[in-house]
């Protein structure tokens, strides 16, 4: 019986990876585009197409099954109209457009999606969620790989090293740690930081039990100056990726808008996820789903920052806290189920962690010490004190606590690792 099941599984895997071979070559098409507009209007405009060797993503799980992110791309084989690849993502634009400035001015942000390199013409739909979380196509494009201008990658001014290797990138989750704000004299420190934070991530639950499904790469990048910019402290540094505090006018939010420099430096690195390790002692970080994470590597809570921000970027986890200086507005409208797996408005709770809540636990669940280790439905999450709920009294996504992701966040991460490692 076991043998039969193994045979069935092998033939299933062959069939689906034959799907990959039917539509794609064993390389990557990097699609750069601009995402522009404001609170009312939104535009996508294609920028450059660049070829990259190999495909680090799964060759089996090509269509996104999570439905996370503010945006997604849907890639169709033009001849058959079959959906052959899709991926959800979020972006700085999504956050910026909800700020005061985003209600009047016009923003323009560079973004990138990696897709397996198509053999034939593809149709791409760039989609955005509306206020009810329904998908709308904003822009449609076609790429004929035989006719389109597809650039060869330039040799990056970076060196990629293996920090933790468990196997072929197409059957592993590949995380690229890339350094910013480390000058020539900081290279030893950079290498020690790579090792330290690799250990931090691999010793955090649930990654600790999934090490054999993960590769971690270190990308050595030398910046002109040491440290990163912090405009509110009158500190401006010239660095390779231009990371800076005060992203969208929040002092401790570290972002870079130089997406193209970041992607160029990663030209030789097989990655599914990007973590920018910033050489600074000031508290801060950032994490945007399927875009990148940043964290302050020299700050005393750096291990927490990495775990927290990577939770946003990798598994689409929401912040579970609700007192904050975060300046984004109207993030979680009432009566619409948020897409993030670890918060709910109870609009469609059955799609979230209802299966993990015991019948004896009241919904909503009172915040009482006797429920400290009980999965429930606790009011206050996603920056909102009322009518948005979190699964646990405390979690790494709520407080500055290391290695304390709640069971619902851990399950979301396990599911995502599983998606990438087939």
| Interacting residues toward Zn ion by CB under 5 A | 342, 395, 397, 406, 409
Quick one: 282 or 312, whose CB is closer to Zn ion? Answer: 312
CB 52 within 8 A of CB 153: yes
CB of 221 or CB of 409, closer to Zn ion: 409
Q: Which is nearer to Zn ion, 273 or 342 (CB)?
A: 342
Q: Is 67 exposed, middle or buried (0-12, 13-18, 19+ CB in 10 A)?
A: middle
- Give every CB contact of residue 34 below 8 A, 6+ residues apart in sequence: 43, 44, 45, 47, 108, 109, 110, 111
d(CA 36, CA 17): 36
Give the number of residues written for the chain: 422
Give 116 or 382: the residue with its C-beta nearer to Zn ion.
382
State the nearest-atom distance from the C-beta of 396 to Zn ion, in Å: 7
Shortest distance, position 92 Cβ to Zn ion, whole Å: 24
- Taking the least distance from each CB to Zn ion, the nearer of 393 and 395 is 395
Sign of torsion over alpha carbons 133, 138, 144, 150? negative
**Contact predicate 280/230, CB 8 Å:** yes
- The least distance separating Zn ion from the CB of residue 301, rounded to whole angstroms, comes to 17
Least distance (Å) between residue 406 CB and Zn ion: 3
| Residues facing 343 on adjacent strands | none
CB of 198 to Zn ion, least distance (A): 23
- Give the nearer residue to Zn ion in terms of CB position, either 274 or 409: 409
- Give me the least distance between CB of 24 and Zn ion, in Å please: 35
Q: How far is the CB of 89 from Zn ion (least distance, A)?
A: 21
In the complex, what is the shortest distance from the CB of residue 354 to Zn ion, in angstroms, rounded to a whole number? 15
**Residues contacting 191, CB < 8 A, separation 6+:** 218, 220
Residue 237 and residue 81 in contact, taking contact as beta carbons nearer than 8 Å = no
Work out how close the CB of 167 gets to Zn ion at its nearest, in angstroms, rounded to a whole number: 29
Residue closest to 205 by CA, chosen among 352, 402, 391: 402
- CB of 127 or CB of 342, closer to Zn ion: 342
Which is nearer to Zn ion, 174 or 320 (by Cβ)? 320
Q: Which of 242, 217, 248 is nearest to 229 (CA)?
A: 242
**Rounded CA separation 139/286 (Å):** 28
Please say which residue, 68 or 76, places its beta carbon nearer to Zn ion: 68
- Integer Rg of the chain from CA: 21
Element (H, E) at 142: strand 135-143
Q: Which letter does DSSP use for residue 344 in this model?
A: B
């Amino acid at each position: 019986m076991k043998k039969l099941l193994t045979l069935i599984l092998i033939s299933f895997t062959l069939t689906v990876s034959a799907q990959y071979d039917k539509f794609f070559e064993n390389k990557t098409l990097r699609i750069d585009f601009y995402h522009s507009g404001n609170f009312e209007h939104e535009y996508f405009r294609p920028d450059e197409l660049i070829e990259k060797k190999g495909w680090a993503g799964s060759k089996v799980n090509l269509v996104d099954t999570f439905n996370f992110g503010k945006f997604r791309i849907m890639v169709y084989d033009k001849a058959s109209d079959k959906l052959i690849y899709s991926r959800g993502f979020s972006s700085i634009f999504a956050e910026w457009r909800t700020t005061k400035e985003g209600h009047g001015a016009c923003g323009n942000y560079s973004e990138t999606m990696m897709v397996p390199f198509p053999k034939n013409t593809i149709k791409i739909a760039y989609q955005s969620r509306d206020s009810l979380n329904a998908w709308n196509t904003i822009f449609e494009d076609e790429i004929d790989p035989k006719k389109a201008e597809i650039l060869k990658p330039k040799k990056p001014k970076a060196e990629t090293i293996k920090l933790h290797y468990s196997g072929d990138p197409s059957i592993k989750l590949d995380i690229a740690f890339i350094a910013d704000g480390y000058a020539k004299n900081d290279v030893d420190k950079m290498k020690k930081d790579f090792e330290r934070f690799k250990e931090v991530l691999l010793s955090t639950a649930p990654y600790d039990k999934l090490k054999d499904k993960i590769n971690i790469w270190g990308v050595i990048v030398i910046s002109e100056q040491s440290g990163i910019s912090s405009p509110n402290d009158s500190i401006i540094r010239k660095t390779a990726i231009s990371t800076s505090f005060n992203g969208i006018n929040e002092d401790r939010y570290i972002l870079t808008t130089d997406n193209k420099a970041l992607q160029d430096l990663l030209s030789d690195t097989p990655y599914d996820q990007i973590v920018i390790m910033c050489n600074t002692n000031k508290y801060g970080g950032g994490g945007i789903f399927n875009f990148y994470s940043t964290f302050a590597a020299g700050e005393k809570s750096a291990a927490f920052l990495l775990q927290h921000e990577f939770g946003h970027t990798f598994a689409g986890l929401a912040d579970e806290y609700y007192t904050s200086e975060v300046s984004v507005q109207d993030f979680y409208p009432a009566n619409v189920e948020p897409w993030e797996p670890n918060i709910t408005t109870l609009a469609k709770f059955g799609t979230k962690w209802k299966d993990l809540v015991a019948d004896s636990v009241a919904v909503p669940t009172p915040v009482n010490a006797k429920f400290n280790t009980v999965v429930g439905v606790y009011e206050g999450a996603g920056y909102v004190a009322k009518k948005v709920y979190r699964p646990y009294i405390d979690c790494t996504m709520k407080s500055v606590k290391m290695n304390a992701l709640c069971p619902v966040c851990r399950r979301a991460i396990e599911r995502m690792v599983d998606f990438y490692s087939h």
